[in-house]
Structure 1
Amino acid sequence: MDLGIAGRHAVVCGSSAGLGKSCALHLAQAGCSVVINGRDEAKLARTAEEMREETGAEITPIAGDVTQASVREELVGHAPVDILVNNAGGPPLADFRDLDGNAIRKGVEGNMITPIALIQLVIDGMAERGFGRIINITSSSVLMGIEKLDLSSGARAGLTGFLSGVSRQVASSGVTINNLLPGSFDTDRQDSIIAAAAERMGKSVEEIKAGRDAANPTGRIGYPGEFGAMCAFLASQYGGFIVGQNILMDGGATRMNF
């Protein structure tokens, strides 16, 4: 399917690996030029080279922490931004009793304030040009809380609520804002969670993986390529009538009727 976004310019945060990388790759495959981002400069450079070789697209790596205003400005300063994918790792697992004010502020900064700041930088330009796609990678925990992810869930839920009204304000200008809510996907982050669980429970990594897969209605966790393809579709010419939605991708693990 031709997604109709060849020649568009995209910025994908947190894209040196995992779900962000898959989103960037699928946008590049659709013909976009893509700015990718991560804090590890060497890893980001390798990812950029891989994407160039695979897609032939223009890939610009910009290393840095997006919670810093200077990095955000550099990300969006390369060219007028048509597509913005907000993505950031959540705070580490923690009992809510152990979270002090600094930890809470850092979590909200990374998963709510920073995405909003990036949107503020690009949204008026998108509206003036009559096309824009903003996709925020949040979490299934926005819909159903997950133990010890309270800070991540709260900050991402705050972002969701904040942007719900904003998305309706800009829809008539050809700009859409939507959220992708991943459950468990086969990423490095998932591997680290499994390793920690295996050590904590005194089980093997294989046992933890088998139990995790069996608990999902699909009998497995997600593939990053599935997630990246959905991101590219939302960014496409076909995404213009999808506004302010939370699209859950978790294989049916979150058990809700609506």
Structure 2
Amino acid sequence: MDLGINGKTALVCASSNGLGKACATSLAKEGVHVFINGRTLETLEAAAEEIRAAGGEVTIVQADVSTDEGRKTLIEACPNPDILINNNAGPDPIGFAQSNRENWDEAIDANMMAPILMIQAVLPGMRERKFGRIINITSAMVKSPSPVMCVSAATRSAVTALSKAVSKEVVADNVTINNMLPEMFDTGRQKQNAELIMLFTNASLEEAREKLVSRITAGRFGQPKEFGDTCAFLCSHQASYISGQNIQLDGGSYDGLV
């Protein structure tokens, strides 16, 4: 299927590894010129080589999207993106009683204000050009909050609400805003989760991964390519009638109806 985005430009935040890199890779394979972003030059260069090896066109932007300076650098590098993929590392697990002002400030900057301000920066141009696709990579915690992920759930839910409100204003200009809600994809995040289980239970790495997989209805971790390809479709011409939605990618694990 031709997604109709060959020749478009995408700014993909926090994309030197994990799900962000998966989205950049899938978009690049569709002929999109991707601008990938991260804080570490070596990691960025390695990701760029992978994308180029797959036939993609890629530019690296070393910057921290959580900061005003970093966002300015990103927009200067790619001032008129057709596609914006908002992504950033999430907060570490912590209970509400144990959380402090510093935890909340960091999460607000990284997972709430960063995507909101990036949307605000690119939206006028997208509306003027009558094409725009904005994807926010949030979390399954938005719809099924966990006590130890309350900081993540709260800050990402704010982005969800903002996106829904703005999506109603801009969809008539062929600009869509959707959220992708991942759960248990086989990335570095699951390695960290497995290591936490190992620390507190004396389990082996294989046993820790099995414990994580046991929580997934599909009985396996999601693969990053599955996530990236879904992202590419949501950015397509064919997806122009999908906006203001939360797309659950969790192997069927969510128990709710909506």
TM-score interval for Structure 1 and Structure 2 normalised by the shorter chain: over 0.9
Shift of 1:147: 2.9
Shift of 1:215: 2.8
Q: Distance in 2 between matches of 1:147 and 1:98?
A: 11
Which 4+ residue blocks in structure 1 deviate beyond 3 angstroms?
none
Shift of 1:100: 1.4
Shift of 1:53: 1.8
Cross-structure match for 1:27: 27
For this pair of structures, how many residues does the alignment match? 257
Contact 2:184 2:221 in 1 (8 A): yes
Q: Distance in 2 between matches of 1:214 and 1:99?
A: 28
Q: Which one-letter code corresponds to 1:47 in the other structure? A: A
Which secondary structure state, in structure 1, belongs to the residue aligned with residue 107 of structure 2? Answer: helix
Q: Which one-letter code corresponds to 2:211 in the other structure? A: G
Q: Which one-letter code corresponds to 1:60 in the other structure? A: T
Cross-structure match for 1:189: 189
Shift of 1:75: 1.6
Could you tell me the TM-score, scaled by structure 2's length? 0.97
Cross-structure match for 2:133: 133
Uncovered stretches (5+) of structure 1, i.e. residues with no partner = none
Q: Distance in 2 between matches of 1:215 and 1:176?
A: 32
Q: Which one-letter code corresponds to 2:198 in the other structure? A: A
Q: How does 1:183-222 map to 2 (within 5 A)?
A: 183-222=183-222
Deviations 1:159-213 (A, max 9, x none): 1011211010000001000000001000011111111111112211211212222
Q: Distance in 2 between matches of 1:74 and 1:104?
A: 25
Deviations 1:65-97 (A, max 9, x none): 112222212222334210000001111111211
Contact 2:12 2:36 in 1 (8 A): yes
Q: How does 1:1-258 map to 2 (within 5 A)?
A: 1-55=1-55, 57-79=56-78, 80-258=80-258
Identical pairs, percent: 41
Q: Distance in 1 between matches of 2:51 and 2:16?
A: 10
Could you tell me the TM-score, scaled by structure 1's length? 0.97
Q: Mean Cα displacement is larger for which, 89-98 or 234-243? A: 89-98
Q: Distance in 2 between matches of 1:103 and 1:218?
A: 33
RMSD of aligned Cα (Å) = 1.1
Uncovered stretches (5+) of structure 2, i.e. residues with no partner = none
Q: Which one-letter code corresponds to 1:123 in the other structure? A: L
Deviations 1:125-154 (A, max 9, x none): 000000000000000000001231110110
